[in-house]
Structure 1
């Protein structure tokens, strides 16, 4: 009536005419995982390798009634990946000091140097590398007590040599590896970096093509193991093995982790090496392992250790004060309490006037600074015992910086002008990065780009905005006005890290006024985009004048509808329509774009805005129409007005531009309104006429204007 795995009930039956009331079971049938069943018994009945009393409890004999401790280890506490580390932790909790019995080691007369030598090419790859040799071994099934310890820990028993390496790893937390000496093919072990393309078949039967980031154990010629990860099939321990080389080492944790992840070979060994091991246990674990192997395999241990590299494992002394501990934890612990906690942890401690000098042993390589000691005190004292206290530090109310405030105001202004904020990728193609550049610079390339469209960091904002417009156009959204504030990345030839510059970009296409019953649709034009930029820059209260100068230097912009934007003499942006050829190539409609260097604007000198009372005296206006060469710009005319207009000229407005009938070829007509005003009295006709005549004369001599 007993039930086994999968709730199968054992029933009464007959075998060869004999009544059967029981069943001979495989380990899987009584609840063992296939991952821990010894391979010879995976598909058959398990046979005990030592005599047991018939009728005794099979589960007890197999260790199924044993207590198993299951730990969730955080990465910083790799010392608890060995039972000795766990014993220290339990001892600290219960204020008891653990005691460990060391397995006595008996060496033979033959020196280890008769068997092999070893070399480590780079001590950074293997700071400590130790080898021992056991001769005349008999590789066989491990005794039942050893098998039980392994399968209860989730490890499959293999043979008495390999099982001892796993037993010592579980006890000390120090991974070991065993090589078949005869299969090494030489009397030399060399630890080096693999060569690119070098092959190795690991113990799991998979062949790997290595690279120069992998640390390998070699026989001087070919790899026989991936250091800290997995051994090679070409040096595997088998029943025919008679001489064994045992390795105990410390490997570069970064390389071990990268190698294990690269080849999907996460193992018990790699998990420990990548987190660090107790340097003081490297030789201790090796000696314990060969002592057990010699006993279980009837082998003879060669005299001495091959040690091409080694490290000294010394205590780390950390100084800390009682006041600091109590301040951080909010406690009122006494010197005696803190000293007792450190002693429970097995740390040597000396105290003088509330100052502790704590000697941390190598088995706790996670402790280096005062904060680590505070954490240990809190753990042993008990987090639940820590009092709840209010923060004692002075609270500082956070606020935006002036730059953050300006960026937010800029966003609000643009949204008020009808633009919508978008966020695009900072990664772009190499071609797009070189477009619309304000300043010369080199792109920053991504080492391993996913696609060519995301191969470099952007050097302008406009390219990303155009992608958004194309996306919307494909979905029949033809009226688009967008902006983006973010960073561009540029560098010179000798820069390693790029310079990050805060930028603002905008793009507008389609109609800015929709057609309805009382008005026609109005498409965006250059002056609409310029008006947005002018309004935005006007809010910056810049001390230097803002200028727009026509340019043909930006290949992606229309040569007749493009301008550089200056504040004083500094170039801070560009504005214009896309070049028709560029629009055609990118399948874009007529689109106007602008880009501003916000960092340059933030650094530009400011002029405070001062509120003025409403004028008390009336203004006087004069209109003037000029016929000038078509190459003359509005900026040139305005400069003459402001230079020669006199003290009472308050404002100049361009209200008409005309070219065509009644105007000579190559000429154009510009019409302006000039506004004059005095703050202290009403202007007389003579004062206005005198100032107006000076302006007309300056226009005629300065730009050859004909007054119409």
Structure 2
């Protein structure tokens, strides 16, 4: 909100500087973010009148102007401005003048003709060109013909002002107006508030004049005031009004439009002016839009309306989008002779939704969104009528309709002085509290239980006792409230076990050479087609978004690793062929009868290519066994026991012979495997991709087994190699488990170090070689003990798997 210091002084006698006022407003909760002095640095710019214009002898686009600055001597200035005419009053920067941006004017010759100054445009005087009339945006600024000659131009165009830029909180919609800020200033400075005059005389309406207002949806429009103005003469608004509008950041257009904007900036009540003769029978209907209804707004854009949008119509159709923007067909133009003024209240949520859906925000909608004064609608209409009558631009007809179906009941809130003092740690009496609230224009009377406060209509944000206690604190002074530490039972914050585990897992994978990524939780259902999932796959049962960012992010994800594949694809397209990435995120499943989905934490990782080699190490392919090794080490790191990998050829999206489910005892943690070649092709990846995805919630449940430490062995171990011929369909894990059981307590470790397939073996068989390590904690093992245990292992393998010792 831009607040003109000069304009503010019309309502309050301010006896402090703008800087002091800014500090006081900030301390009272209305933060002043910046102060702007539009005329700072501008010197020696005066008003001058063009007496004569001659063509330049050496340049077609230049003219020679003879001007008077109020004295007998004339000043010659050469200019290329296309809009100068004899008799115009313009800003003149004389020799030695300083303009916006630090430009200093010197005597010069332009194509051989002397020029002693410069005719100034609005931009050269620090004004925003967009705030000027269209004909002056690309030329010299033209001042009114009755402007005094030879005087400093800064006061005439508002450059002697100071603009306070307020950063308002959403609840203070009342301060989006000059009067709203003036109330605060008057309360802070303890000065009386001077309300604007609204005197005007009314003329009887003619027999042809008719105004009717029907509100079909009073929930969205509880009040609508319409006032008729006749004999309207559309033209420019007075200079003082244009200055104030520009200071507030509003471009002057015409007297009728400017008055509606002026009242909006002054009182916070948006108004709209309809060309009365373009409304059928003067009949206004406030209703929801019909499906597919169209309106062409004032910005000449065609807008399709939805049934939940509130529109202003006449019997022929829409003439405005309520609270957002008027329609082009009922626009006030230079030919308008009668105006119907709208001053209404629209439900904030409705305006916010309509403004968002249409992608159309305006000064009007921003005020309606925050809530305006429901009781102030007729006052704003009267103020606009008074201003137009005062400038001779219209006659006010004695015809006004105030459709107010359900008048708002008075809002009274009880304030207990003892609670005020307890919350603020003050010692204010009831009289002092009453005086503070009265300064803020609340009506206060004593009650048996405290103070009964009547809340005025311009403060819709105040509804409970705590709101009024905050008002007391603001005006009393936050800086005067004692500093005290909070008391009470304080619970020390701590991370849960799942949070600690998540941090540990991320650190482990990062140390293992993986990069953590974060992908969107929103996906497109085409992901499931790229993975080759059938139509009845449970992963296709997704949670759709009501308002997606785009079609590519229309549903919540049910799998995490497709996001990793997108990252690998982007990396590959940028010639990054070797990648190891992981993400710890959430997937979402709909719950029948529940408004919110089920959120499941998931850990996913994907690798492609080879590891980074070194001067003493060769790159290692990041294949299935690489990723499985990382996973095995991770599970051991977090204390998961009894881990098995069960082949699962029917998991869609994975290579049927290179995928397994990961289990910890009876708990299935997830899946690990190689991506199916078709899926790899769908993602445009030219190398094999290994993926794992684990249910992190289940991992949390089985992790954390206490680690058992034992001393280093005192006695040496004995190593033996055992090579057996077995069927290829027997998993190595089952053979290793059988070796451990048969080996007993002295068998400490078993590792597979060779697998061989050749013609010397029968079809479907291969050789597997195991490295066995025997060791006892209380003695040195003998060869006889080790040999006997090895024979026992071999007998168990032969009995259960038909294994034969390889010769």
By the TM > 0.5 criterion, same fold? yes
1:603 corresponding residue in structure 2: 701
Report how far residue 345 of structure 1 moved. Answer: 1.4
Aligned to 1:138: 231
Deviation readout 1:316-367 (Å, 9 max, x if unpaired): 5264654555655x65555554333222212234678996554432211233
Count how many residue pairs are aligned between Structure 1 and Structure 2.
Answer: 692
In structure 1, what is the equivalent of residue 801 of structure 2? 703
Q: Distance in 2 between matches of 1:470 and 1:142?
A: 63
Q: Assess, with a 3 A threshold, how the Cα gap between structure 1 residues 271 and 464 changes in structure 2: closer, same or farther.
A: closer
Q: 1:211 aligns with which of 296, 302, 305?
A: 305
Kindly provide the CA deviation profile for residues 157-212 of structure 1, in whole angstroms up to 9, marking residues without a partner as x. 777765654554344322222333332123532222335664434445x2422321
Q: 1:483 aligns with which of 559, 571, 582?
A: 582
TM-aligned CA deviation for residue 219 of structure 1: 0.6
1:217 positional shift? 1.0
| 1:404 paired residue number | 499
Q: Which residue of 2 aligns with 1:88?
A: 183
Residue of structure 1 equivalent to 2:668: 571
Matched residue, 2:761: 663
* Structural mapping, 1:584-623, within 5 Å: 586-604=684-702, 606-614=704-712
Distance across 2 between alignment mates of 1:69 and 1:520: 69
Does 1:627 find its partner at 2:720? Answer: no
Structure 2 residue aligned with 1:523: 621
1:648–1:678 CA contact under 8 A, matched in 2: yes
Assess, with a 3 A threshold, how the Cα gap between structure 1 residues 674 and 248 changes in structure 2: closer, same or farther: same
Counterpart contact for 1:28–1:37, Cα < 8 Å: no
2-structure distance, mates of 1:332, 1:69 = 37
Per-residue displacement from partner, 1:648-670 (whole Å, max 9, x unpaired)? 66554444433324322111233
Q: Is the 8 A contact 1:214 1:259 kept in 2?
A: yes
Does the CA contact (< 8 Å) of 1:194 and 1:210 recur in 2?
Answer: no
**Are 1:364 and 2:459 counterparts?**
yes
Q: Deviations over 1:71-98 (max 9, x none)?
A: 6361433323344433422321133453
The answer for unaligned runs of 5 or more in structure 2 is: 1-41, 55-65, 71-85, 93-119
Answering whether residue 403 of structure 2 is matched by residue 307 of structure 1, we say yes
Q: Does 1:153 align with 2:251?
A: no
Answer whether contact 2:210 2:281 (CA < 8 A) is retained: no
Structural mapping, 1:162-241, within 5 Å: 165-166=260-261, 168-195=263-290, 198-203=293-298, 206-212=300-306, 214-237=309-332
Match of 1:500 in 2: 599
Map 1:450-461; keep pairs closer than 5 Å. 456-461=555-560
Secondary structure of the corresponding residue to residue 523 of structure 1: coil
Change (3 A) 1:14 1:121: closer
1:188-337 matched pairs, under 5 angstroms: 188-195=283-290, 198-203=293-298, 206-212=300-306, 214-237=309-332, 244-257=339-352, 266-289=361-384, 297-302=394-399, 305-307=401-403, 309-312=405-408, 314-317=410-413, 319=415, 322=418, 327-328=423-424, 333=428, 335-337=430-432
Q: Aligned to 2:218, what secondary structure does the other structure show?
A: coil
- Shift in Å, 1:281: 0.8
Q: 1:637 to 1:157 in 2, by over 3 A?
A: closer
Residue in 2 that maps onto 1:377: 472
CA contact (8 A) 2:437 2:444 kept: yes
Q: State the shift of 1:256 in Å.
A: 3.4
The alpha-carbon deviation at position 398 of structure 1 amounts to 4.3
The DSSP-based 3-state class of the residue aligned with 1:408 is: helix
Deviates more, 1:246-255 or 1:481-490: 481-490
Question: Are 2:202 and 2:396, in contact at CA under 8 Å, matched by a contact in 1?
Answer: no
Distance 1:71 1:440 in 2: 52
Residue pair 1:317, 1:359 contacting (<8 A) in 2 also: yes
Report what 2:643 is aligned to: 546
Contact 1:316/1:362 (CA < 8 Å) preserved in 2? no
1:442 aligns with 2:534: no
Specify whether residues 506 and 201 from structure 1 end up closer, same or farther in structure 2 by C-alpha distance, changes over 3 A only: closer
Instruction: Return the TM-score normalized by structure 1.
Output: 0.79
Mean Cα deviation higher: 96-105 or 369-378: 96-105
Are residues 369 and 705 of structure 1, via their aligned partners in 2, closer, same or farther at CA, if it must alter by over 3 Å?
farther
User: Quick one: distance in 1 between partners of 2:255 and 2:570?
Assistant: 67
Cα distance between partner residues in 1 of 2:47 and 2:179 = 42
Root-mean-square deviation (CA, aligned residues, Å) is: 4.9
**Shift in Å, 1:507:** 2.8
What is the rounded CA distance, in whole Å, between the counterparts of 1:19 and 1:486 in structure 2? 74
Superposed CA deviations along residues 564-595 of structure 1, whole A, max 9, x for unmatched, are 11122232122223334544552322333322
Contact 1:514 / 1:522 at 8 angstroms: preserved in 2?
yes
Cα gap change, 1:697 to 1:216, in 2 (>3 Å): same
Distance 2:677 2:276 in 1: 76
